[in-house]
Structure 1
Amino acid sequence: METTKLPSAMDIIKKYDGPAIRIMEVCGTHTHEIFRLGIRQILPPQIELISGPGCPVCVTPVGYIDEAVYLALQCGVTICTFGDLVRVPGSAASLAVARSRGARIQVVYSPMDAYDYAATHRDEQVVFLSVGFETTTPASCLAVKKAVRQGLDNFSILTANKTMPQAYEVLKGSADAFLYPGHVQAVMGTAICEKLLKDGISGVVAGFTAKELMTALAVIMVKFSQGKPFFKNCYPRVVTPQGSRTGQAVMEQVMRPCASEWRGLGEIPASGLALRPAYNAYDARLKYTVPEMHGHGNPACRCGDVLQGKCRPSDCPVFAKGCSPEHPVGACMVSHEGACSAYYLYGGMLHE
């Protein structure tokens, strides 16, 4: 009996002759992987990939860096942070500059590393810079819970945790379809994607391998050509409809929604997470009476426009002209998930 061979993702992509599609890579890791794997080079000309706000370091506002520098220099605390944040420019100084002025800046790889540092350096006040989306927030919550259990009173966190659903709403209309981040949806499930579908917002959840990314892009091409809003989970081996109940529960227990400022997007209601009152003793802003700070970045930097999909990194006047990973003007050039750093590292592939 003869069987019909279904077209592969590569076949669909190479033979696509449908309407133009703007696809937003919400996740910075997707941006880097699509570049690194050479996927952009095989896409038909009517497919445009644009970057979005899915890099937590990139969307962290300048004022947050100013708060961290204040804690390090004025309050004398030890800052524990992921490495990407060290070189992000603040209004007047980065954490790297603060370190050159004598501040204690400790690079860690997880919130629990910061907890362990505090536990073994009881003579130091330690603040962990809690930056991230739903993927990493549960780990910050667990570190705070452990500090409470152990009575570790020299540990606190400076929150800049954010949640993606509200950002999707703000970005409605900026792209024809979202490439949803697989790691965020692994924690939160697909309910938000289904809700956005009812609002006419299309997208697919994508993994991070070449096959998973190609499949997701091919699905978008097929579904978009049908002329109706769509959603598809193309990462079912990791993402389930319900997500991680454990991760959701610990976030709900330790943190509460709050308004949050996003670089480029402004303040978005209920898009941030702050510690609940029961954990006020571990809130660095309260513990050290940090003054309210409204940072200001370099006006020539267009990171904010890049994060909204309004321009490509190469459209920025300082891109590769004074702004590089070694000497960043904006956060998007610093982070290993940043769109500007991806274009800087791999952008030449677009012209090969």
Structure 2
Amino acid sequence: MNTIENAKEIISSYKREDGKKLRIMEVCGTHTHEIFRLGIRKLLPESVELISGPGCPVCVTPIGFIDEACMLALEKGAEICTFGDLIRVPGTEMSLAGARSKGAVIKTVYSPLDAVSYAESHRDEQVVFLAVGFETTTPSACLAVEKAKKLGLENFSILGANKTMPNAYKALEGSADAFLYPGHVNAITGTAVCEELVKKGVSGVVTGFTAAELLTALAVTIELSQRGEPFFRNCYPRVVKPEGNPAAIKLMEKVMTPCDSEWRGLGIIPMSGMILRDEYADFDARKKFALPKITGKPNPACRCGDVLQGKCKPSDCKVFGKVCTPLHPIGACMVSNEGACSAYYQYGNL
């Protein structure tokens, strides 16, 4: 029997005598979409429930961040460079697409270094890159700041919303029986954090993104959960090493330092964000443009925050698929390609 068939058998035959469900949270938004796309949810028995977590960087970025970006573009005259997903995320009054319709310059880039190149060729304009993401993308933002400093670009800065996962796992403790850890994050951070969480009673398995990897991770989670003890297993060893990526970690530590950070739906999580160190303060857009403290106001009809905490499914939201669609999103979870609402809308409520 091959690996996939063996994993399928373990998953499909799982039963619990106590009638409770084994709740597994796929923290990573890409895992959510791939599990849907590959039809894996259809293989799960009644005794296993998959719930989506806060592993979509666009989704957990607070509304106030969008408001800050719109202020930079409309009131401060900055040209905004950003990844495409952020453009349609609603702010308190408008999205970046709305700001563009009012004359703001909003440019889509594919990497932070693209924004640096744009700033280098447009030295008469103030260019701000919207830096969002977890440990996977934060090193590239740090690299961009390093390059801008080396080039002496006084017209480049970043508006940061970079986040780290370890304290988010702690904030979500009790929301699931086990986590499917995001393989691309662990490729940077290594496995030490996950191993440490086991000592605090938090279980999880790190996995990749293919059908075989996801099925294996689910089968391993099911098998280990039956032992009744906290566990961790690296099911993505071809990419995730215990030490992670030391060069990327060193770069992040050089350019940024931990800080408290607001997560949509989760509130302020202590020491879960990254901000530029004082040596790089000239590249901090908040300081450069003296931005005021902005607290965004979410649409009360949107349950994006509950979805990100695993408290409800997207389909439980009254506006899901009706008022809130990918073409007319009310919340970030419907906008992002990694968002849970987007996955449910595209693949159905399985």
Length-normalised TM-score, structure 1? 0.97
Q: Which residue of 2 aligns with 1:169?
A: 170
Counterpart of 1:279 in structure 2 is 280
Answering whether residue 348 of structure 2 is matched by residue 347 of structure 1, we say yes
Q: 1:155 Cα deviation (Å)?
A: 0.5
| Alignment correspondent of 1:145 | 146
1:32 aligns with 2:30: no
Seq. identity, %: 67
CA distance in 2, matches of 1:243, 1:216: 19
Which residue of the partner structure matches residue 12 of structure 2? 14
Aligned ranges 1:226-305 → 2 under 5 Å: 226-305=227-306
2:182 corresponding residue in structure 1: 181
> 1:46 matched to which residue of 2?
47
Give unmatched runs, 5+ long, in structure 1.
none
Distance 1:67 1:125 in 2: 15
- The 3-state SS of whatever aligns with 2:52 is strand
| Distance 1:149-1:21 versus aligned 2 partners, 3 A rule | same
Cα separation, 2, equivalents of 1:191 and 1:93: 41
Taking the aligned partners of 2:203 and 2:85, their CA distance within structure 1 comes to 31
Paired with 2:318 and 2:266, the residues of 1 have a C-alpha distance of: 20
What's the counterpart of residue 212 of structure 1? 213
Partner of 2:200: 199
Aligned alpha-carbon RMSD (Å):
1.2
Corresponding residue pairs, total:
346
SS of equivalent residue, structure 2 residue 238: coil
Verify the 8 A CA contact 1:80 1:107 in the aligned structure 2. Answer: yes
Deviation at 1:267, TM superposition (A): 0.4
CA distance in 2, matches of 1:303, 1:125: 33
**How far is 1:317 from its partner?**
1.0
The answer to whether the Cα contact below 8 Å between 1:306 and 1:312 also exists between their aligned partners in 2 is yes
Deviations 1:63-118 (A, max 9, x none): 00000000000011100000000000000111000000000000011111111111
The 3 A distance-change label for structure 1 pair 117 and 5 is closer
Secondary structure, in 3 states, of the residue corresponding to 2:348? helix
Aligned residue type for 2:281:
N
Cα distance between partner residues in 2 of 1:304 and 1:11 = 35
Are 1:301 and 1:316, in contact at CA under 8 Å, matched by a contact in 2?
A: yes
* Structure 1 segments (4+ residues) deviating >3 Å: 4-7
AA matched with 2:14: Y
- C-alpha distance in structure 1 between counterparts of 2:129 and 2:16, whole Å: 49
